[in-house]
Chain A
Amino acid sequence: MARADPPPPPPAAFERRVLRSAAEHHYLRVRLELPDGGARPSAAQFKQLVVTALRELHGEVGAALPVDVLTYEEKTLSAILRVTSSGLVKLWSALTLLGFYQNRRCAFRVLQTSPFLLALSGNSRELVLD
């Protein structure tokens, strides 16, 4: 015998919540620039490089900052990083000041940053029309 469905709940009443500067994390879309040729870092090496950058500028406490490599593409050396909001300035400064990867010159370019991961999936500044 078919079980009787429970009565559907009433339609949702209007409710509005405003969250002010409440984002737990910030997200950065970055690209690593390396001279042509030579080995490209794997995902784990890339994460290690980020941690090294943090250690160089902010010491062991900086190196302990929780940073997630959400995506990493070895071909383009681009990645999306996630960091707790209070650590955004630390991470950004550490990436900016990093100059070497395995004794080769390198530079991090921060392409986009936002408290909303969703915002990184549509950047109008990279809109290419044809």
Chain B
Amino acid sequence: MRMSVPLRRLRQAPRHLLVCEKSHARHARSRHAAHVRDHAYNCRVSFLIPECGTLPEVLKSTIADVGEYYLLRNLSLHELVTHEFIDTFVKKGSCHALTYNTKIDQDNTAALLPTGKLILSVDKDTYEELGLQGRPSQYSGKKVMRYIITIDLMDPSFHPDSKKHKRVLWALKEKKPLEFDFLLAWCNTGAEGSTLMSYFPKNQIQTLKPKITFSTLRDLQCPVLQSNELQGKPEESCSTEELFEWLGAVLNQVSLDNKSFSFLSTYCCPQPNTIVEQAFLCTITGFIIPEAIIQLLEKLCCYFDEPKLAHWLTLTVHGFADSPVSWRESEHGFHKGGENLYNFVVFRNLDYWLQMAVGTNDDCPP
């Protein structure tokens, strides 16, 4: 007998995607830096280097360079669309802003991309009160309960005297004032100009430093990998999915040496594997801009300039579960986990694997 539809659904897991790419970091057409740049909002970066006891100075200083960010409390959204703000920050560098402690599956959320696009993800009532043009969320099903509004702050037609600008300002200032706590980061190419600290009132803005932790893992079982074999080869090397799960186990401090018959857990390190005496793990938590991650990735590639025992190292980046976008302007939502993360495996010869993972309410990564 065929299983009825509702029962079959019970056995189905929510949709998710894992995209795996391999290429070479020094290929002219390699897109690794572009993939990092396109993923604007990152809350945690971790890297793991096998056979490494102490971190080289150059990596230490790169980590120390991961910039500060700001927490802005109770910011009225219209302040981000004033021309003073656009001219001082948005047009003179790359400005990242994301609402803090807002849940995208229930609250209104806003994000300012470094490209100057302001993206609002709002519920139906707010959308109707705002009266700004938008589109229904891709993931709202038959009855639309969430809308996405995109405002291009860099658009030449968005000048101070234009009707468009006046309407947006009026909508956000008078029609339906929206207030959020924002995470903000700004990096500009020139040294001169004002800073976010002096632009916003002192009692509203707070400077925050990324939290950095180091640890050394002893006698770690590491899977054997071959850069040319994404799918792995039986008895010779592990596949990219196996590595992805193993790395998750390592970062969550899961024990790796269980037996297939043990009661508690049957997870074990994929085969074949080797035991490395020590591995260095560093985790950076905060509001981390892509430029800092590109720097770090570049320095990690340079780690292999001198001969090293390690065959590969990994760099993992977690996105914000409640950001309205994942890569570029692809809409992101929170279904069951809101996951959007990626991981690089950089090999000794600078081949790399890139794994990009998203959950149910997401487009395919680029």
Residues of A in contact with B (beta carbons under 8 Å apart): 8-9, 11-23, 25-27, 43-44, 47, 66, 68-72, 80, 82, 85-90, 112-125, 127, 129-130
Contact = CB atoms under 8 A, between A and B. Distances in A.
B228 interface: yes
Given A12-B24, A117-B245, A121-B46, A70 B16 contact: no
Given A118-B341, A122-B318, A19 B20 contact: yes
Nearest to A120: B252
Contact of A12 (B17, B23, B318, B343): B23
A14 B21 contact: yes
Contacts of B359: 114-115
Nearest to A43: B264
B309 interface: no
B263 interface: yes
Contacts of A90: 10
B198 interface: no
Interface string B1-21: 000000000111111111111
Given A43-B264, A123-B321, A125-B322, A116 B341 contact: yes
Interface of B: 10-24, 26-27, 29-30, 43-44, 46, 71, 100, 103, 208, 227-228, 230-231, 240-241, 244-245, 247-249, 251-255, 263-267, 285-286, 316, 318-322, 336-339, 341, 343, 349-352, 357, 359, 364
B337 A114 contact: yes
Nearest to A18: B19
A80 B17 CA distance: 21
Contact of A124 (B10, B318, B351): B318
Contacts of B241: 19, 22
B349 A8 contact: yes
Given A14-B23, A70-B254, A116 B18 contact: yes
Nearest to B334: A125
